[in-house]
């Protein structure tokens, strides 16, 4: 399997699905909608909706019910990036090779665009009730989406991350907590929602969530590695931003070589757990391998 070609093909298909759920930039409030869509359409790997869709397919899902949740998870991810780039947070001027939302639209409109994306994500996900009203997993999926995005998930991890800047008291346990919530939570939500909506058993859901947690942690550690070893041209964003913002990272704490070893170990554990499932999705397994070891 040419994994890069497969990812490219599926990313194009996913982009078409996601674009269909975006609001039209019209009305008196069109500026905030334009800012929302600018951020959303700026590119990206579409990792979370792809993982959601492939996990849904893994357990036999075939309905369009997954599509509003795919759009919702990407909206939530995008809002987090818009807010993360703000002057009060990382103060980055580039994201995915383009000017960040606050640079183009101003800080106030970027805040509103993030707020709009988060709120519209749940309005979008709620469309699943109309598509497949008999699916009892929709309500459960809504709760997973909210919890993994909120104070017990991504927002909680971001909070501890902000509080830990310039901290000399960072521990490995605290760093793991930040990464598991800030990055892993949305990846867990993506794969878990795919499993739930397809009717996976509770034991299968548990395995999927554990796999996603390991993948998310490895993904963030790899991001730290790329922040040290990558280039602006390849990554599409400034390198060394963690050091600039005095953030403690896995690489800074453990060292580059140990970070690489941990990425490999987490990857191996995640793939082994995936292979323990009776159901199989070759593309999903290869996708996990590729994303963890990515170069951008």
pLDDT digits (tens, 9 = 90+) for 141-178: 999 999 999 999 999 999 999 988 776 778 888 999 99
pLDDT in tens, 270-290: 999 999 999 999 999 999 988
In the predicted structure, residue 22 carries a pLDDT above the cut 50: yes
Q: Which domain holds residue 236?
A: 3-292
23 CB-side CA count, 13 A? 23
The predicted-structure confidence for 32-90, as pLDDT tens digits, reads as follows 999 999 999 998 889 999 999 999 999 999 999 999 999 999 999 999 999 999 999 99
pLDDT at 107 over 90: yes
State pTM to two decimals.
0.92
| Higher pLDDT, residue 246 or 68 | 68
CATH number at residue 230: 1.10.600.10
pLDDT at 167: 66
Structural domain total, the chain:
1
HSE value, Cβ hemisphere, 13 Å, CA-based, for 215: 31
User: Can you say whether the dihedral through the CA atoms of 48, 50, 55, 61 is positive or negative?
Assistant: positive
| Predicted confidence (pLDDT) at residue 112 exceeds the cutoff of 90 | yes
The whole-number pLDDT of residue 228 equals: 87
């Amino acid at each position: 399997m040419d994994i890069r070609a497969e990812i490219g093909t599926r990313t194009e298909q996913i982009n078409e699905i996601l674009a269909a759920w975006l609001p039209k930039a019209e009305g008196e409030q069109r500026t905030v909608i334009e800012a929302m869509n600018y951020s959303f359409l700026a590119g990206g790997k579409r990792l979370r909706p792809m993982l959601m869709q492939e996990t849904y397919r893994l357990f036999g899902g075939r309905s369009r019910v997954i599509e509003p949740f795919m759009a919702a998870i990407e909206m939530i991810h995008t809002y987090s990036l818009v807010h993360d780039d703000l002057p009060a947070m990382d103060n980055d001027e580039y994201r995915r090779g383009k000017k960040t939302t606050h640079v183009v639209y101003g800080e106030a409109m970027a805040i509103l665009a993030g707020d709009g994306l988060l709120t519209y994500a749940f309005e979008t996900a709620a469309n699943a009730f109309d598509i497949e009203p008999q699916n009892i997993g929709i309500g459960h999926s809504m709760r997973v989406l909210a919890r993994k995005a909120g104070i017990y998930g991504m927002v909680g991890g971001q909070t501890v991350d902000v509080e830990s800047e310039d901290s000399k008291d960072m521990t490995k346990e605290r760093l793991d907590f930040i990464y598991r919530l800030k990055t892993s939570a949305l990846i867990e939500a993506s794969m878990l929602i795919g499993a739930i909506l397809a009717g996976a058993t509770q034991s299968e859901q548990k395995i999927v969530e554990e796999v996603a947690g390991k993948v998310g942690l490895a993904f963030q550690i790899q991001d730290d590695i790329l922040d040290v070893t990558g280039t602006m041209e390849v990554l599409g964003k400034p390198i060394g931003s963690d050091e600039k913002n005095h953030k403690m990272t896995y690489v800074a704490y453990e060292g580059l070589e140990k970070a690489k070893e941990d990425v490999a170990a987490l990857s191996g554990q995640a793939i082994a757990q995936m292979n323990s499932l009776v159901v199989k999705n070759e593309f999903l397994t290869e996708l996990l391998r590729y994303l963890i070891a990515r170069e951008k």
